[in-house]
Amino acid sequence: MNKITRVGIAGTGLIGKGLALEIEKQRELKLSKVLTRRDISTMSDYPFQVVLTNSTDDFIENCDLIVECSGDVIYGTEVIDKVIKASIPVITMNAELQVTTGSYFANRGFITEAEGDQPGCLASLHENVVEMGFKPLVYGNIKGFLKLDPNIEDMKYFSKKNGVRLDMTTSFTDGTKVQIEQALVANGLGAGIAVDGLLAPSSNDLNEAGEVLAEEANRLGHPICEFVLAPKAPPGVFITAEHDTRQKDALRYYKMGEGPYYTILQNYHLCHLEIMKTIKRVINGGGVLLNNGENPTVSVAAIAKRTLKPGEKIEKGIGSFQVRGEAVKIAENNGHVPIGLLVDAVMKREVAEGEIITFYDVELPESLALRAWYDTVGKKAVNI
């Protein structure tokens, strides 16, 4: 009961720094190491300089559990691979990594996404509503704004205003982030998607939108992951579900409406502040909250925002002004390139605006992330 768990954090951005502040307040936890690629001598603003390290080996040797929140698919995959090989449990707040290489690790060790970002919050809400006897039909994400091809001037303005990296700001705005999040939920909770790119209805009435989406889920015969564009709704998540008809009168009394569909809303997600719940869950043997599963059925393809020419370089697909991501059914999109793998990529063929980039179209540098994708998904989904 008195054991102190040494927690390491990979990443020193908004999430990693905020989490470090919270861990330091916990008596049963010790912030042991923080892994960063930055020059430590320039990080005088970091609150716990003594724990900073550039060495992955040093990081692993001093941790009982790690939280990966670098926001980088390629780098994060390399770090997690070493941590998993050392039999150390991994918590991520990195949905981008989970939908790209998470299944590779789900087959090899303990990895779970954290509560706090929308996927983890939906997984936690799922556990709650199922315990109450509900049958989930819609796993819903709430988005306040969407612009598929934002301009760089606006993105720089909001990046500076909010203190969030330019690429992250862009991926939030063009929908890539929410598509990634819902693909992860679909894979992790055994759901699916209704259509490639998601239906994404616009409505500030979540009950109404939930009912429409629940009807579609019933038509398809399986739960679906979706998002609703709702500028006036809170920044949270919801589940629309059915219940035993014998509970109809009670649910009406509890102000849940007439049924047959009931929408349960969590009206917040507090990112790094909620990671603490997952850390304690793992320490106490609570098991995986959510990961990409061992056999994913949904991926996030890269869609050209404009015509891409041979020889053009894509430094990083997620959050770029060249491509955006859309959740797609793996079985129906043979050869698509997951947007998380588009790093230092060079176009080999022209791809028109709105088209999916395939492995025929682009040259990708060798990486563990690329090999991991082929190992878990590519054997079924890539025929090149």
- Show the tokens assigned to 282: 């793992």
3-state secondary structure (DSSP) of residue 317: coil
Close Cβ partners of 377 (under 8 Å, ≥ 6 residues apart):
103, 296, 299, 330
Close Cβ partners of 128 (under 8 Å, ≥ 6 residues apart):
264
Quick count: other Cβ atoms within 10 Å of Cβ 245?
Answer: 10
Q: What is the CA radius of gyration of the chain?
A: 21
> How far, CA to CA in Å, does 76 sit from each of 93, 250, 348, 372?
11, 47, 27, 12
> How far, CA to CA in Å, does 55 sit from each of 147, 185, 296, 376?
39, 32, 32, 28
Question: What DSSP designation does 337 have?
Answer: P
> How far, CA to CA in Å, does 17 sit from each of 34, 66, 191, 194, 258?
9, 14, 33, 37, 45
Cite the DSSP H helix spans in the chain. 14-23, 56-61, 73-85, 95-97, 103-106, 118-131, 152-162, 166-173, 176-188, 206-220, 248-253, 272-283, 368-373, 379-381
Q: Sort strands 111-113 and 65-68 into parallel, antiparallel or unpaired.
A: unpaired
- What gap in Å lies between CA 264 and CA 297, rounded to an integer? 26
**Residues of the chain where predicted confidence (pLDDT) is lower than 70:** 1-2, 378-384
- 195 and 328 fall within a common domain: no
Q: Confirm whether 288 is domain-assigned.
A: no
Question: What DSSP designation does 259 have?
Answer: S
How big is the chain, counted in residues? 384
Q: How many helices (H) and strands (E) does the chain have?
A: 14, 15
- Show the tokens assigned to 310: 């041979």
φ/ψ of residue 85, rounded to 5: -65, -25
Q: Confirm whether 293 is domain-assigned.
A: no
pLDDT of residue 174: 98
- What gap in Å lies between CA 239 and CA 222, rounded to an integer? 14
Q: Confirm whether 338 is domain-assigned.
A: yes
- 129 and 185 fall within a common domain: yes
Q: Confirm whether 290 is domain-assigned.
A: no
CATH number for position 351: 3.90.1210.10
pLDDT of residue 377: 83
CATH number for position 104: 3.40.50.720
pLDDT of residue 167: 95
pLDDT of residue 384: 45
- 147 and 231 fall within a common domain: yes
* CA dihedral sign of residues 197, 198, 201, 202: negative
Q: Confirm whether 323 is domain-assigned.
A: yes
**Domain span holding position 315:** 298-381
- What gap in Å lies between CA 286 and CA 110, rounded to an integer? 12
- 78 and 51 fall within a common domain: yes
Dump pLDDT digits (tens) for 270-319: 999 999 999 999 999 999 999 999 999 999 999 999 999 999 999 999 99
Q: Confirm whether 291 is domain-assigned.
A: no
- 98 and 128 fall within a common domain: no
- 123 and 260 fall within a common domain: yes
Close Cβ partners of 44 (under 8 Å, ≥ 6 residues apart):
none
